[in-house]
Amino acid sequence: MLLGKKIAVTMPAYYAAKTVGKTVADIPREYVDIVILVDDASKDDTFATAQALGISVFRNEKNLNYGGNVKRCLQLALDAGADIVIQLHPDYQYPPKVTLPMAAMLATGYHDLVLGARTSGKGARGTMPFWRYLPTACSPW
């Protein structure tokens, strides 16, 4: 809880067995009330690995694709009573520690939406094609 707001971190997962443990370990749990992972019918050990982490884990029996999985994540967070929802990918391309500053910006009520760019840090280097960096590199910010 942060400034009286219930914080949920949702993770739309697909083949994330290798990285979900590291991602969950770095979430600032002292401020996050619930962590929800939805496995989108992965055929690896994502579901079992996430269950062992002590978070809320759900599995889509049929692959809903990214958009459908995100919608399910958001609905589960709202059903859990979340005031603030932070979507975090379990592949560690966004550092999980950004959840606290993002939640703080939202909890103040000054911001309605906070977006992260995985191209602004080291997390995505080597895992994303070069052309995806161009919008950030050409940005005036």
Protein fold of 7-116: Spore Coat Polysaccharide Biosynthesis Protein SpsA; Chain A (3.90.550)
pTM score: 0.84
DSSP, residue by residue, 48-95: HHHHTTTSEEEE-SS--HHHHHHHHHHHHHHHTT-SEEEE--TTSSS-
pLDDT number for residue 139 = 46
pLDDT tens for residues 50-61?
Answer: 999 999 999 999
pLDDT number for residue 12 = 97
Residue identified by tokens 């590199």 is: 137
Instruction: Say if residue 32 is exposed, middle or buried (CB neighbours under 10 Å; 0-12, 13-18, 19+).
Output: buried
Domain boundaries, the chain: 7-116
pLDDT < 50 regions, the chain: 137-141
